[in-house]
Amino acid sequence: MLRRTAGWFDTRLGTSAFVQKALTKVFPDHWSFMIGEIALYSFVVLLLTGTFLTFFFDASTSISVYRGAYEPLNGVEVSDAYRSVLELSFDVRAGLVMRQIHHWAALVFIGSIVAHLCRVFFTGAFRRPREINWIIGVLLLILAIFNGFSGYSLPDDLLSGTGLRIAHSIALSVPLVGTWMAFLLFGGEFPADEIIGRLFVVHIMIVPVLIIGLLTIHLAVVWRQKHTQFREPGRTEGNVVGSRLWPSYTAKSIGLFFAVSAVLSVMGGLAQINPVWLYGPFEPQQVTSPAQPDWYLGWVEGALRLVPPFDVRLFGYEIPNPFFPAVLLPGVTFTLLLAWPFLEQRFAHDKEAHHLLDRPRDHPVRTALGATTLTFYTVMFVAASNDLIAKWLGASIFGITLIFRILILLMPPLVGWGTYRLMKALAASGAGHLSEMPLAALTNRGADGHGAHVDGGKGHGAAGPPGDGHAGNRLGAPAEEARTPGG
Amino acid sequence: MKLRFARSGWAVKVLTALGAIALGGCAYTSNLTNPHPSQEPVADTPERGRVLYLRDCAWCHAAEGSGTGRGPDLISGTNGAAFTDFMLSTGRMPINDPSEPTRFSSPSYNPSEIEDLVAYVASLGGDGPPIPVVDTQAGDLALGLELYQENCAACHSTTGVGGALAAGPDPFDRSLIAPALTQSTPIQIAEAMQVGPGTMPVFGRDTLASTEVDSIVRYLGHLQTPDDRGGLPLGHVGPVTEGAIGWLVGVGGALLIVRLIGTRVGEE
Amino acid sequence: MRRQRTSPPGSGVALAFGFSAVSSIALTVVYGFGGQPQLEGLLLGIALGGLAVGLVRWAQDLMPGGGYVEQRDTEMGGPAQSAAAVRSFERGEQEVQRRSFLGKALAAALGALGLAALFPIRSLGSAPGTSLEVTPWAEGIRAVTIDGEPVRPEDLEIGGVLTVFPDGHLDAADAQTLLIHLAPGVYRPVASGREGWAPEDFVAFSKVCTHAGCPVGLYQPADHRLFCPCHQSIFDVLDAAAPIAGPATRPLPQLPLEIDADGFIAAGGDYSEPIGPGYWSRPRA
């Protein structure tokens, strides 16, 4: 049966050669290489649950009356968008759990993209020939953030509506073209009625199509270039060692899909998220406190709160305050992110191709810069909840904000310097793992800046010198069960 | 002694100075605490209100309610029966240290003692509103939601969990909070609205009709047992706690899972 | 991750799949009885989780695992191939270069079409025009609450605040206004020309924050402050709502008030300056 089907396709498309190569393709098994798949499978969950939601959501701001099980709003006039989400949450079987799985999946999707980005960054996997995939990855991050924001703004509730007001003001703040940008994007002065319908089209069609397209290229490039791997016995710049796609890697990967969707399902059922019926429908003269966006925009929100009050005035024109934290900062952030592989090639004088990964200690400057950057954005992100922190600690909001302003200037360089020293000490000590490094090693500075050569073939990937771009395994005995393709 | 201290390191000197300041501060604040804290019950006579007042309140608010440096007068503005009943029944008053902000806590008096104190304070001359009559069942839930969102949600949050207010801008000012409303009784809610305690605006009898008050109270009662059919409410504060759980449980859980599925360096 | 096995190989896998199936059936039963979010999530999670555990255990314990080796193409492509591709392209391109006039005409036509194709973007929204500079408030227009009720001074106690709109323009979000009743004698007009703007101790400011546009919904009468919950700007009501903390740089515009002939509170004109957040060509007062 299988033979006949395979033959049927093969005579029409010539697929057998490709299939034969594909089934025996080797993928390295390290656990950190599966973080990208967490993001991929979260996206699949988003597509599946999202499709269900589109059958119920009404992307219109026309007024209608909600009649349903939620008593305080029963008989009340609200927008169609808000009404349809209320109905989905209270009056459609399994509607609420689908909504909640969808929203939790969005948070985990973007979180796992960030975790994946960190893994790629700290192991130097973005180096030649993988710059293309790095750029695609950063673009995917931007698209995912945008889709998250557009998604939770759809229900037209008070909390997300406040966020849309801020978005309109941020568009206004762009020099020269800001007013036109805001009016054309939204359809007029805030609150323009068209915005919900437009966000709906962007959210279910434009951005998902872009994400699917870029994701496909992203995976195709990994397929073509083969995955990177850590330095271990048997691994060289010229090979890939791991499991075959069929059957074991496929089984594990599909297993991971079920595991990720299981976690998201349990969260969707047990942990309430975005209870829009408690926030109430959006009214432009109402507001709630505290007011924060979803976590992946927390860094922009924190920047808006921390940046001191200043405008820029030139020749009778003005660049208002929100431009700097909400347009300039993200612009610089993503530009630097996109440019990073090329910046590192220039400043580290390294244009070689690399298929073996660094450990963080092998490139202490990169690791320290990454730690500095992460600290900077994390402090900003935590600062977005300054009002909640003030409430929980019984402190003045302005005391808390002042502390964050000090922290954001002090902590990144401190963490960077500390990370640099730690990585040098770790490399010099020759310890296999951070937990095995004696504390005394912290006071040693690595004499030549390179990791010590350790007796090869011994357990946890002892590092050779970084930048080892040539084939040839320096690390001792070849892998015990090396099998050749086709075997 | 003096010579030895003069030669000791700068750290010792600084710490000693700080200690002296702390002690001095304690001495200063102790001047503010109630000199007659007493838990002894007072006999239930027609004079009980006045006796309790003179024992527990007069040292801050003065014998005739005209106020001192430690506490405001009880006659001007919205002072009267409702204000007094609100402060006593929510445990905000009496307070041992007037420099502390007032906080919701358990009342220091039983209901009949509160009644007597209220009557006495009201007799001092304040013409603020009387204790309101609230009929929760007569309120309309939908109207209550609309009015709550319009007037109350900005400070007390749409979910009624309260929020931080603008203390400062001196960063060392004490915090100012719009409290959570999860444990307030209908009468306390109505009293607070009509009296505007602390830094709260006044939503008085001229602004909101009694049916509107009843409706807000009814909606708050609903918020006190909120419809959390989605699961664990995570504090009812929205994206902050949701993001924390998303990372800890969602991303963290998934990372744990891939750690179990994949290999570590050195394993096959 | 091979472990010592005391039970038949694959029994753990089968058990996991069994749990999953049972859970799926339970899920359909819950759904049939009307559904319940917590049970739905939990049962779906177990159903999916059982499949996950089974598949992963199968792969790890029973399938041949890692250790396979595949060679890389350490040199992708190559200069000869690359040059050949470029030559093929250039051969075709010569056809265009030989007819340079036609090429330029094509470019001009495509450019014009491209430019024309951008024009429908203009249909997406109205021109900003002066809409950011004006609101429906004008001399004599009464202040009404969101229910459309006009306001008399007796309707708002000292220390009270109401959100009001211009009569007949309840949907004008840019006209949302804070009407505040101050204690007698507290208000002093800060800017010249605003002497009559606060009759009978009533004062009015735009509710739209001048930082990023959120409604400045928190009023603290005890210290006469307006507090915006979005980014924590504070405005001092007694100082013409000037910002005293937070990222806002401009005061909340003030609305002049008057008491009309029937005793209702009305506007004495539009705001002192354009409301809301800043923009490039915002007119300076």
Q: For chain C, give the percent of residues with pLDDT over 70.
A: 96
Q: Is residue A379 part of a domain?
A: no
Q: Mind listing the pLDDT tens digit for each residue in C135-163? A: 999 999 999 999 999 999 999 999 999 99
Residue A242 lies in a domain: yes
Q: Does A407 touch chain B (CB under 8 A)?
A: no
In a domain, A137, yes or no: yes
- What Å distances lie between residue A313 and A316, B175, B197, C284, CA to CA? 7, 35, 42, 11
Q: Supply the pLDDT for residue B223.
A: 94
Q: What is the pLDDT of residue A1?
A: 85
Q: What pLDDT does B9 receive?
A: 53
* The pLDDT of residue C41: 96
Percent of chain A with pLDDT over 90: 80
Alpha-carbon gap, residue C51 to C28, rounded angstroms: 17
Average pLDDT over residues B159-183: 86
Q: What is the pLDDT at residue A481?
A: 39
Contact B204 C219 (CB under 8 A): no
Q: Nearest residue on chain B to A383, judged by CA atoms?
A: B240
Residue C195 banded pLDDT, cuts 50, 70, 90:
confident
Work out the percent of chain A whose per-residue pLDDT is above 70.
91
Mean pLDDT, residues A243-266: 95
Residue B12 has pLDDT above 80, yes or no: no
Separation between Cα atoms, residue A194 and residue A216, nearest integer Å: 32
Give the mean model confidence (pLDDT) for residues A56-65: 96
**CA separation for the pair A144, A115 (Å, rounded):** 14
Q: How far is the C-alpha of C181 from the C-alpha of C157, rounded, in Å?
A: 7
Residue C112 confidence (pLDDT): 96
The reported pLDDT for the residue numbered B196 is 93
A2-13 and A16-23 helices, crossing angle to 10°: 120
Does some domain include residue A150? yes
CATH number of the domain where residue A150 is located? 1.20.810.10
Q: What is the 3-state secondary structure (H, E, C) of chain A?
A: CHHHHHHHHHHHHCCHHHHHHHHCCEECCEHHHHHHHHHHHHHHHHHHHHHHHHCCCCCCCCEEECCCCCHHHCCCEEEHHHHHHHHHHHCCCCHHHHHHHHHHHHHHHHHHHHHHHHHHHHCCCCCCCCHHHHHHHHHHHHHHHHHHHHHHHCCCEHHHHHHHHHHHHHHHCCCCCHHHHHHHHHCCCCCCCCHHHHHHHHHHHHHHHHHHHHHHHHHHHHHHHCCCECCCCCCCCCEEEEEEHHHHHHHHHHHHHHHHHHHHHHHHHHECCCCHHHHCECCCCCCCCCCCCCHHHHHHHHHHHHCCCCCEEECCEEECCCHHHHHHHHHHHHHHHHHHHHHHHHHCCCCCCCCECCCHHHCHHHHHHHHHHHHHHHHHHHHCCHHHHHHHHCECHHHHHHHHHHHHHHHHHHHHHHHHHHHHHHHHHCCCCHHHCCHHHHHCCCCCCCCCCCCCCCCCCCCCCCCCCCCCCCCCCCCCCCECCCC
Which 263-292 residues of chain A touch chain B by CB within 8 A? 263-264, 267, 269-275, 277-280, 283, 285-292
Contact predicate A247/C63, CB 8 Å? yes
Angle between helices A95-122 and B252-261 (to 10 degrees): 60
Question: Among partner residues C31, C131, C277, which is closest to A320 by beta-carbon distance?
Answer: C277
What was the pLDDT predicted at B142?
A: 95
The residue of chain A with its CA nearest to that of B223 is A278
- Cβ atoms of C57 and C12 within 8 Å: the answer is yes
State the pLDDT confidence band at B69, using cuts at 50, 70 and 90: confident
Q: Is residue A41 part of a domain?
A: yes
Q: Is the pLDDT of residue C5 over 80?
A: no
pLDDT at B14: 64
Q: Which residue has the higher pLDDT, A271 or B226?
A: A271
Query: Would you say residue B219 has pLDDT above 70?
Result: yes
- Number of domains making up chain A: 1
Q: Which residues of C93-120 are buried (b: 16+ CB within 10 A; e: fewer)?
A: eeeeeeeeeeeeeeeeeeeeeeeeeeee
Interface test with B, best of A89, A272, A282 (most B CBs within 10 A): A272
pLDDT in tens, A162-211: 999 999 999 999 999 999 999 999 999 999 889 999 999 999 999 999 99
Q: Where residue A470 falls among pLDDT bands split at 50, 70, 90?
A: very low
Range in A240-249, B9-18, B235-244 the model is least confident about? B9-18
d(CA A81, CA A102): 17
- Interface check A76 vs B, CB under 8 A: yes
Across the interface, which of A34, A100, A270 has its CB nearest the CB of B262? A34
Shortest CA distance to C274 belongs to which of C130, C156, C149, C139? C130
Nearest Cα neighbor of A50 from A106, A123, A118, A129 is A106
Please classify residue A454 by burial: count the beta carbons closer than 10 Å to its beta carbon, then call 0-12 exposed, 13-18 middle and 19+ buried: middle
Inter-chain contact C162–B202, Cβ cutoff 8 Å? Answer: no
Predicted local distance difference test score (pLDDT) of residue B26: 52
For residues B55-74, give the mean pLDDT. 90
Highest mean pLDDT among B43-47, B65-69, B104-108, C224-228: C224-228
pLDDT digits (tens, 9 = 90+) for A124-154: 999 999 999 999 999 999 999 999 999 999 9
B154·C229 Cβ contact <8 A: yes
Predicted confidence (pLDDT) at residue A67 exceeds the cutoff of 80: yes
Asked whether residue A471 is domain-assigned, the answer is no
Give domain status of residue A109, yes or no. Answer: yes
* Contact by Cβ (8 Å): C177, C156: no
Instruction: Name, in order, each residue with C-beta under 8 angstroms of B224's C-beta and a sequence gap of 6 or more.
Output: B160, B181, B182, B183
Least confident of A414-428, A457-471, B79-93, B125-139: A457-471
- Structure pTM? 0.90
Nearest to B266 among A272, A283, A460 (CB): A460
ipTM above 0.90, yes or no: yes
Q: Which domain holds residue A57?
A: 32-277+288-294
Which residues on chain A are in Cβ contact (under 8 Å) with C54? 255
Query: Which pLDDT band holds residue B41 (cuts at 50, 70, 90)?
Result: confident
Across chain A, mean pLDDT equals 90
A479 pLDDT tier (thresholds 50, 70, 90): very low
CA B244 to chain centre: 27
Q: A440: distance to nearest CA of chain B, Å?
A: 26
Torsion sign (Cα): B63, B66, B71, B72: positive
- Give the helix/strand (H/E) hosting C236: strand C234-236
Tell me which residues of chain A, numbers 296 to 325, contact chain B at a CB-CB cutoff of 8 Å. 298
| In the predicted structure, residue A457 carries a pLDDT above the cut 60 | no
Counting as contact any 3 or more CB pairs under 8 A, the partners of A are B, C
Read off the pLDDT of residues B72-87 as tens digits, 9 standing for 90 and up.
999 998 999 999 999 9
Alpha-carbon distance of A169 to A183, in angstroms, equals 11
Please name the residue of chain A whose CA is at the shortest distance from the CA of residue C280. Answer: A318
Q: What is the pLDDT of residues C204-235, one digit of tens each?
A: 999 999 999 999 999 999 999 999 999 999 99
pLDDT mean over A64-93 = 96
Interface residue of A44, A91, A287, A288 to substitute, partner B, most B CBs within 10 Å: A288
- Rounded distance between C-alpha atoms, residue C251 and residue C278, angstroms: 12
